[in-house]
Amino acid sequence: MKYILAVLLVITSSTLLAQKIAITLDDLPFGYSGGFTDEQKIEAFDKILKTLKKHKVKATLFVTSRNMSEATKVILDKAVAAGHQLGNHTNNHYDLNKVSAEKYIADIDSCQQLTGKWINSNYFRYSMLHRGNTRTKRDSVYSYLKEKGLLIAPVTIDNNEWVYNRGYSLAMKIDDHKNMDKIAREYLYHMKEVTARYQKLSLQLTNREIPQILLLHSNPINADYLGKLLDWYKREGWEFVTLDEAMEDEFYSIKDDYVGPYGFSQLDRIKVSRASN
């Protein structure tokens, strides 16, 4: 009896403590991939889809329409058919620190026009997570999104994974498997570190662990290593949820008042705006 109670206690507490995480991937159909052909991009994306299916993950995928070619549009077909949510990630991936609000808004609109056939959510994700380096710029884009019914998809686990992908793709191009393995190991280690960092920040700011939103990209390193990364989250007791589920948490209704050049985690946005008030 004692044993059964102990087992029940462990099961209950691990359920209560299950950390939630929504998986998002940007720059679809396919991001930086150092000279990949369209066929190779499609094949690599198939691996990402297979991994998501294996882990029963429904992800939210953000489309950068300038990355589309006639051939790679099939990636968007496949993503929708597999039941994933697609959102707008602008046409040209401009840096809002460097272009006007008008130019940026026109670019969001272009993405909507070019990908309306596939986009099946009202989520919008800022390119580079830059929301405007001046208050006027930031607020102009906010007003436009509101008017169009577009919802900002924040990120909490921001991680610069694209830096590892760049090295990995370059090593792949010259068939340097030793370096590919080394970079992949460093990538996985880095993701664990960065996840712990944002868990800690969540506790500091909210006294609890919020459902996190992970930013990744549709790229070669994830074609090969997303499975290992998701295995790790699962082993650590994380539960995969959709972006909709994560965003139901009241944390995502907290307004931040950050204005500045940095594109970073929603947790950092709140930390910085609290510190300046």
Contacting positions for Zn ion (CB under 5 A): 26-27
Of 142 and 162, the one with the shorter C-beta distance to Zn ion is 162
Distant-in-sequence, close-in-space partners of 163: CB < 8 Å, separation ≥ 6: none
- Which of 153, 239, 162 is closest to 194 using CA atoms? 162
Question: Is 87 in a helix, a strand, or coil?
Answer: strand
Positive/negative CA dihedral, 36, 226, 93, 69: positive
Alpha carbon 251 to chain centroid, angstroms:
17
Of 26 and 161, the one with the shorter C-beta distance to Zn ion is 26
Of 27 and 161, the one with the shorter C-beta distance to Zn ion is 27
Residue with the CB atom nearest Zn ion in the bound state: 26
Instruction: Supply the minimum distance, in Å, between the C-beta of residue 30 and Zn ion.
Output: 12
Of 33 and 202, the one with the shorter C-beta distance to Zn ion is 33
Alpha carbon 234 to chain centroid, angstroms:
18
Q: Is 209 exposed, middle or buried (0-12, 13-18, 19+ CB in 10 A)?
A: middle
Q: How far apart are the first and last CA of the chain?
A: 55
Of 109 and 249, the one with the shorter C-beta distance to Zn ion is 109
Please state, as a whole number, how many other Cβ atoms lie within 10 Å of the Cβ of residue 220: 27
Question: Is 20 in a helix, a strand, or coil?
Answer: strand
Of 167 and 202, the one with the shorter C-beta distance to Zn ion is 167
Task: Match 């056939």 to its residue by tokens.
Answer: 117
